[in-house]
Every structure is written in structure tokens, then in C-alpha cells.
Amino acid sequence: MLIGEVARLSGVSARMLRHYDSLGLVRPTGRTVGGYREYTPEDIRRIFHVEGLRSLGLSLRQIARTIDDPGFTPAALVGDLIRKTEERLYRERELLDRLRKVDAAGPAGWQDVARIVELLHGLGSRSAARRQQAVLAPAEHESVPAELLAEAVLTESDPNVAGALRWALARAGGDGVASLASGMVSDDVDVRRRAVRALAELPGDEATARLADALGDTDSTIRRHAALALGARGETRAVPTLVGIVVEGPSDVEAAELLGTLARDATWADRIMDALVDELAAPTANSAVRIRLTQALAEMPGTIALQTLRQLAHDDDRPVALIASTLVNVLEERGGDPDGARARRDAGAGPGA
């Protein structure tokens, strides 16, 4: 079979067949009277063998070694090909991800593209200082894509860089909430914690809704961050978790202050007071817990907690009684203002309390 027909049937160009011949990889067995290359069925099988190995990514030199060495075992070579292919796919996925981020940023011109690429390089640095510099470097008038910053927040483990990213995200505008929301459903608790801390610094109803969802998270740290952020926004949905924060300890002072602010709403004042009193009476409440709850009562508006504190001033737990007695004195002094007098009457303490 002549070279033209072999090329047509095999799909390998005549030029490549001549190249195979020059390398000694596939040499036609015979020649015609006129000197043309003539391929036998065995030669054609060898061509298909070569093409099959080429499809796996082997070089022609590697192919020559595999088909001419009867003792050659392919395991090591195939393993090496797998590793190289994985590396290539990783680089291509990185490139695709980078292109998508540039596209999502909606650059207006090549200058914007260059700036985004520079930011991506900076955020990908192994140096925390370099990553932080990349976040803080853009000039005042330059906007950084919120989605890009949100994705970076979810993977950043350095606290200083994470803080810079949250700051930049909060001032970037745009829609980073959707990217952070994806982090809130991650199986990785660290990713969820990063997401909720970033959401806490973003304004808007959507961020508030995501924070409210986080109140049901299995991780106490995430619930705490969400409740503190919601409480600061005046969201009464955070009340049960804020009470729990007072009980558990971390951030109890901040939680108590927020409960005091939320209790200015008359419809919630009694609920918050009842929740704190119930926790005080809980069999599992040790002295440290009851001290925190007693201190939280002092954050209630006006003097609505005065009657309860007077009772606690005679508590069997002496540290609790001492703190309650001190707070009673403070609240009685506060009772001279109109708000305090009204609060005393609401609490049933009487005008002379």
C-alpha cells in the first residue's frame, strides 16, 4: 500500500509518515519498482500503535522506546504521564478560574484587566504581607470586584489579611453576598466562620437574611458571630442566641449590651427579662454563669431589672449577691430620671424604689 493510500485510511498525513520513516519509528517494509514507499499490513498496525501511544501524550522518543524494547514495562511511564496530565489540568483549571473572575468583574478596558490580574497574582502569593498589600494597594478611586474579594475571604487563613479583605469587601459595594453565602454551606467549619464574619460587615437585607440562617449552624462560634451582628442591626431574631452567649461566656458583655438595646422595644423587654431570669434559675447554672446573667440584667433599659436585682442581692451565692447589691445601688441612682421612674413603675417597684 502506497503512502497516499495509507495516509487516507489511517488519518496520518503523508508528511508525518515520512517523519516517522526518517526517525526509524515506522519504516515501510518495501519499495515499488519506481522507488516509492510500500507499507505492509504489519507496517500499518505499527502506525496505529504509534498513534494510540501519541494520544496518551507520549513523545515520539518515548514511543520508539516502548515498541522496540520487548522488556519495557509501561507502569512507570504511564504513572509519569498521569502526574504530568494532572499538573496540566490543574494549571488549566487555574487559568479557567482566573479568566472567569476577570470576566465576572466586567472590565471596561485592558487597564482594568491588567489590574484584576495583578490583584489575582497578589492574592495567590505565599506571602501574607504580599497578599495584604495586594488588597490594600488599589487607589481610592479604583474599585475592586466584590465577588473576587468574597472568594478570597473564604480561603484566607491569616487574620491580618482576612481583616483587610473584609474591610475591602465592605467598601467595594457590588454583590459579594452570593459568594459568601456559598461558603455558609461548606462542610469546612473554618470556611463557614470566615463567611459569617465577612457577612457581619456587609449591609443590606440579603446579608441580614444569611446571618439569620447562620443562627441555626451547628458551630457555636458561627452562631455567636451571627447573633452579635444581627443584634447590632436591631434584629430580635438574635435574642435567644444572645442570651445563650451570656450563659456560655465568650462575648457575654457585648451580647448583654445588645440585649439591653433590644429591650428598649416594650414588646421585647419582658421576653428578654424572662429569658435571663429563667437561665438564672436553671439547675445547670453555676456561679460563673449566674454572675454573667446578673451583670446582664444591669444592661436592661431604665430600671426594669431593679426588682430582680434586689432579690438577687439576698442570693445564697455570695458573689452573685454582692454584684447584685452593687448594681441595685447604681440603678437606684439612675432611677431619678423620667425613663427610670417609668421603668420602675412598669416593673412594679413603686415610685419610692
Cell of 81: 504521564
pLDDT in tens, 50-73: 888 888 888 888 888 777 776 667
Distance CA(52)–CA(42), nearest Å, equals: 15
What is the predicted pLDDT for the residue at 107?
A: 66
Asked whether residue 248 carries a pLDDT value surpassing 60, the answer given is yes
- Span 148-201, pLDDT tens digits: 888 889 999 999 999 999 988 888 766 778 889 889 999 999 999 999 999 999
The percent of residues above 90 in pLDDT, for the chain, comes to 45
pLDDT at 344: 36
Over residues 9-32, mean pLDDT? 87
Burial class (CB in 10 A: 0-12, 13-18, 19+), 315: middle
21-43 residue pLDDT tens? 888 888 888 787 778 888 988 89
Q: Give the pLDDT score at 345.
A: 39
pLDDT digits (tens, 9 = 90+) for 191-222: 999 999 999 999 889 999 999 999 999 999 99
3-state secondary structure the chain: CEHHHHHHHHCCCHHHHHHHHHHCCCCCCEECCCCCEECCHHHHHHHHHHHHHHHCCCCHHHHHHHHHCCCCCCHHHHHHHHHHHHHHHHHHHHHHHHHHHHHHCCCCCHHHHHHHHHHHHHHCCCCHHHHHHHHHCCCCCCCCCHHHHHHHHHHCCCHHHHHHHHHHHHHHCCCCHHHHHHHHCCCCHHHHHHHHHHHHCCCCHHHHHHHHHHCCCCCHHHHHHHHHHHHHCCCHHHHHHHHHHHHHCCCHHHHHHHHHHHCCCHHHHHHHHHHHHHHHHCCCCCHHHHHHHHHHHCCCCCCCCHHHHHHHCCCCCHHHHHHHHHHHHHHHHHCCCHHHHHHHHHHCCCCCC
**Can you tell me the distance from the alpha carbon of 74 to that of 77, in angstroms, rounded to the nearest whole number?**
5
- Write down the pLDDT at residue 350: 36
Q: Tell me what percent of the residues of the chain surpass a pLDDT of 70.
A: 86
Would you say residue 258 has pLDDT above 50? yes
Residue range 259-272: mean pLDDT, rounded: 95
What local confidence, expressed as pLDDT, does residue 317 receive? 94
Place of cell 431574631: 237
Which domains are assigned to the chain?
3-72 (1.10.1660.10), 105-221+228-233 (no CATH), 235-353 (no CATH)
- pLDDT at residue 343 above 70? no
Instruction: Name the range with the highest mean pLDDT among 113-127, 133-147, 325-339.
Output: 113-127
Mutual angle of helices 220-232 and 239-248, in 10-degree steps = 120
Higher pLDDT, 214 or 6: 214
Instruction: Give this prediction's pTM.
Output: 0.66
Pairwise pLDDT comparison (323 vs 125), residue with the higher score: 323
Average pLDDT taken over every residue of the chain? 84
Q: Rounded CA gap, 151 and 135, in Å?
A: 13
